[in-house]
Structure 1
Amino acid sequence: MSTALHAPQAATPGTEAPRLEARGVTVRFGGLVANKDVDLAVGSQQIVGLVGPNGAGKSTLFAVLSGLLRPTSGRVFMDGEDVTGTSPQKRAARGLARTFQHPELFSSLSVREHLVLAYRMKNAKSRIWTDLLNFRGFASSPKAEDQRVDELVESLQLGAIQHRPAAGLPLGSARLLEIARALAREPRVLLLDEPSSGLDVRETEEVAEVLKSVVRDHGVSLLMVEHDVELVLGMSDAVHVLDFGVKIAGGTPAEVRRDPAVRAAYLGEEIEKPAVQRAEAEIEQGELA
């Protein structure tokens, strides 16, 4: 495959390079190919969904994009610059943040203290150690910090629980807190790992509305791995579908919904599905497994 095919998308006058982009990403674990030649781009203030059956390679691609895993081949770009070899910390400094399927919170800290800590990790890291050494905890917040935390509390609908400890929070509230904590670090791109996992219908609808407001009010781009396909199709600007590590479809929600290969992957329909058939043929030949 030629190098030109997987060059980063150049920004033309009046446009921006994608905030986050995978070009030709392949990941091999011995004889197993978890991702094969995957392309994906997240533009400015876009919501992009990444879906696929269990074992399709979604988590592996997420790990590559966040810097936790180096691809066997292919490149990752942020704002048109190659970040394939950079650490998760350096990508975070460039504006990449992520949440996890199981919220990782400090049980003894309040909701608000989580946001203060995240804000200081980005904007005033030295204050964290100074306050701890002086036993001041999270007291004496400067005005700019208070304003930013207040904005997040309001926009993520956390006002009623902002002084509650994280221990014992309902799962829906814990997910909103984790999203707010990621936003406190002022990212340009937010990777969301199964934001609706374990939530009931009401909680899922609440999280979906919050995510749309995050893009609208904070100017953030979202890439989410999600098992709830209808949720993704209902709120995304673009959707990418993986199966057997191969991207079998990508486009608008309407285009993806109509795609025969997607229906075959999810519903097992006996219809013409060239991308899936190619993937299955490669498995038989030992290329993907």
Structure 2
Amino acid sequence: MSAVTGTTPPRIEARGVTVRFGGLVALSEVSLAVPPASVVGLVGPNGAGKSTLFAVLSGLLAPGSGAVLMDGHDVTGASAQARARRGLARTFQHPELFPGLTVREHVVLAYRLRHTRHRIWTDLVTGGGFRRAPVDEDRRAGALLAALGLTGHAHRPVSGLPLGTSRLLEIARALALDPGVLLLDEPSSGLDARETDELAATLSRVVADHGVSLLLVEHDVELVLGMSDVVHVLDFGVKISAGSPAEVRADPAVRAAYLGAGHGEERTSR
């Protein structure tokens, strides 16, 4: 785990966020902060509101009330694209890839989106740009592929990739954007135990070496507790606990939430 710093504003922050879908309160006055160069975990039983909060933070869903800030600037009304330009990247539960591109081309395209945006049209229409990679671009793409264990798949089309490999590619593509904060939505889904351990080690190195902040949503609670500096727990759209992994692990409210979810309670919030 990395050291949490408190001298600068959080990379991203939710303040009193509330979201309603008709009569359903999906989130109720939820606050959460992701400091620079830190790993923050977000867990909770199915239907607790984790995906809804992710959508609010990334700009895909407007809250009914509350605010979202990035580096101290209010971005509540900003689009997902505007937040990306400020340094926000995210992954999704189901990887969203371009079937006609190779693994390496996905990483190169993301790198150019951040650094040489004017080349994107050529890349997509002619494919010629991929064959003329500057040294820095080639080095960066190669390093990310190696870090995620994807070097052997570099020139393979993404069509037909196993789910676990597709998920690793989506993380590599997000990191190619050089984000200040990365929202990871179920990154270990589809990975076996060895791949999950390697992913955790890779993400920890990214935080330590590049100062990227991570907000991690996971069903694998042990992965979150093992990686995170601070963990927040949602249940039915309400934050019921927050603290160090040890504090959260020992919290009776957290144990009760998971126990209740496993004994047939119907969950309707997102």
- The TM-score, its normalising length taken from structure 1, stands at 0.85
Runs of 4+ in structure 1 displaced over 6 angstroms? none
Q: Does 1:103 align with 2:104?
A: no
Q: Is the partner of 1:138 in helix, strand or coil?
A: helix
Query: Residue in 2 aligned with 1:70?
Result: 62
- 1:64-213 to structure 2, matched below 5 A, reads 64-132=56-124, 136-213=128-205
Write out per-residue CA displacement over residues 36-82 of structure 1, whole angstroms, 9 at most, x where no aligned residue.
01010001111111011111111110000000011111000000110
Larger deviation, residues 135-144 vs 231-240: 135-144
Cα offsets for 1:104-157 (capped at 9, x unmatched) = 112221111111111111111211223555552411112221122122122222
- Structure showing greater relative contact order (alpha-carbon pairs closer than 8 Å, 6 or more residues apart): 2
2:122, 2:129 within 8 Å by CA — same for their partners in 1? no
Change in CA separation of 1:262 and 1:145 when aligned onto 2, cut-off 3 Å: same
Unaligned runs of 5+ in 2: 262-267
Bigger CA drift: 85-94 or 201-210? 201-210
Looking at structure 2, the residues matched to 248 and 131 of structure 1 have their Cα atoms a distance apart, in angstroms, of 47
145-154 or 80-89: which moved more?
Answer: 145-154
Q: Distance in 2 between matches of 1:197 and 1:23?
A: 29
**Rounded Cα–Cα distance in structure 1 between residues aligned with 2:215 and 2:182:** 6
2:247 paired with 1:255: yes
Taking structure 2 as the reference length, the TM-score comes to: 0.91
CA–CA distance in structure 1, aligned partners of residues 235 and 83 of structure 2: 27
Alignment partners' CA distance in 1, 2:127 and 2:248 = 54
Per mean C-alpha deviation after superposition, the further-off stretch among 218-227 and 133-142 is 133-142
Counterpart of 1:280 in structure 2 is: none
Gaps of 5+ in 1: 1-11, 270-282
Give the 3-state SS of the residue equivalent to 1:174 in structure 2.
Answer: helix
Counterparts of 1:220-239 in structure 2 under 5 Å? 220-239=212-231
Which protein is bigger by CA-based radius of gyration? 1
Judged with a 3 Å threshold, the aligned counterparts in structure 2 of structure 1 residues 74 and 249 are, in CA distance, closer, same or farther, namely: same
Question: How many residues align structurally?
Answer: 259
CA 1:140–1:260: 2 relative to 1, 3 Å:
same
